[in-house]
Amino acid sequence: MGASGWHYVTEFDGNVEASVARLQARVFQEEWADEFESLEALWADEEFMGTEGTHSILDVDPAGLRRIPAARVLHHFGTDSPTAARFEEVVSQANERYADSLLDEFDTSWSGRYLVLHTDGRPTHLGLFGSSGD
């Protein structure tokens, strides 16, 4: 099947790992709760997670997500405080033109990157993207 790219926008409360954990819980409930008893049961299925994965944020440890450096945020967004709407626009453009795009910021599968998104100049959301699954 091959790896799949994914992206999400989720609320940010100042704690990246907690925000990602809430996103993972939501994605599990929406997409995998019918197949696995719990998120922990999904992660414990080493054969599934080690070979196929979910092709989603569930495949990435929150502690393993890397923040996009400020200079790269400025490069891709033209500002150091991009909005959620601009993130979606840039991801959409990147899907059409991958080289030197936002989605070209990670170099390995089964990994992800994030940046803080803003509303009225305040940090309110995370934009996350990555590639996983096989």
Q: pLDDT per residue over 28-52, tens digit each?
A: 999 999 999 999 999 999 999 988 9
Compute the average pLDDT of residues 65-91: 95
Q: Which of 27, 106, 30, 95 is nearest to 64 (CA)?
A: 106
Q: How many domains does the chain contain in total?
A: 1
Give the H or E element holding residue 51. Answer: helix 46-51
Residue 99 has pLDDT above 60, yes or no: no
Whole-structure pTM value: 0.88
Q: Show the domain range for 124.
A: 4-132
When pLDDT is cut at 50, 70 and 90, the band that residue 64 belongs to is confident
Q: What angle do CA 118, 105, 32 make, to 5 degrees?
A: 75
